[in-house]
Amino acid sequence: MIQREAEVKNKVTAVALTDSVHNVWHQEVGKSIREWMRENCCNWVSSSEPLDTSVESMLPDCPRVSAGTERHELTSWKSFPSIFKFFSEAVEAKNSAVKPTPTRRSNRIKYEEL
């Protein structure tokens, strides 16, 4: 993403991680990438908390929620329903945010502007 930020942002709607140990602070990641990750990523982590309960993070890069299991090897499987809901909501939000195409009339100079 560091090398192709604009391309990734245009093509990727959401990113789901499961018990990821990534750390953007060890890389030369700009503020815009960190903000994009906060808004478009979610990490389902091993935790004794119920599925989707918010989990504290020491680093503010990607929101963390409980996978509903303390076993690392089960985090993906236990999180699937929540992950697919996350993807569906992200796609729906992106599609509803699409701006209408301007018409010729909206591009005309208004009489007051002459």
Q: Which tens digits make up the pLDDT trace of 37-92?
A: 899 999 999 999 999 999 997 777 789 999 999 999 999 999 999 999 999 999 99
| CA atoms of 34 and 61, how far apart (whole Å) | 6
Q: Which tens digits make up the pLDDT trace of 2-48?
A: 889 999 999 999 999 999 886 665 667 788 888 998 999 999 999 99
pLDDT score, position 1: 83
pTM: 0.77
Mean pLDDT over all residues of the chain?
Answer: 84
**Given a cut of 70, is residue 101 above it in pLDDT?**
no
pLDDT score, position 111: 43
Which H or E element spans position 33? helix 31-40
**Given a cut of 50, is residue 107 above it in pLDDT?**
no
pLDDT score, position 110: 44
Half-sphere exposure in the Cβ direction for 74 (13 Å, CA): 11
Helices (H), strands (E): how many in the chain?
4, 3
pLDDT score, position 109: 44
